[in-house]
Homo-oligomer: A and B are copies of this chain.
Amino acid sequence: MTADCAPPRRSAAGPPPAPPDRPAAVRGPVHLVGTGLMGASVGLGLGGRGIEVTLEDPSPSAQAVAVQIGAGRPRQTGDRPPALVVVAVPPDVTAPVVAAQLHRFDQAVVTDLASVKAIVLDELAQAGADLARYVGSHPMAGREKSGPAAATADLFTSRPWVIAAAPATRPQAVLRVRELASDLGAHPAYLDPAAHDRAVALVSHVPQVLASLTAKRLTEAEPGALDLAGQGLRDMTRIAASDPRLWSAILAGNGPAVAAVLRGLREDLDRAIAALDLGAEPANLGRALVELADLIAAGNRGAEAIPGKHGGARRRFDKVTVMVPDKPGELGRLFQEMGRLGVNLEDLSLEHGARQLVGLAEISVPPGAGPGLAEDLERQGWRILR
Chain A residues close to B by CB (< 8 Å):
1-2, 10-13, 16-17, 140, 143, 150, 152, 154, 157-160, 162, 187, 189, 191, 195, 198-200, 202-204, 206-230, 232-245, 247-249, 251-252, 255-256, 258-259, 261-266, 268-270, 272-273, 275-277, 279-280, 285, 288-290, 292-311, 323, 326, 328-329, 331-333, 335-340, 342-350, 352-359, 366, 383, 385-386
Contact = CB atoms under 8 A, between A and B. Distances in A.
Nearest to A12: B224
Contacts of A203: 218, 221, 225-226, 228-230, 233
Given A158-B356, A213-B269, A302-B215, A224 B13 contact: yes
Nearest to A199: B225
Contacts of A223: 1-2, 10-12
A221 B296 contact: no
A219 B285 contact: no
Nearest to A190: B224
B235 A239 contact: yes
A292 B251 contact: yes
A232 to B, nearest CB: 4
Contacts of A336: 335-336, 338-340
A96 to B, nearest CB: 14
A301 to B, nearest CB: 5
Contacts of A239: 232, 235-236
B323 A160 contact: no
Contacts of A272: 209, 213, 262
B309 A356 contact: yes
B302 A219 contact: yes
A157 to B, nearest CB: 5
A358 B187 CA distance: 12
A337 B336 CA distance: 8
Contacts of A292: 244, 247-248, 251-252
A358 B198 contact: no
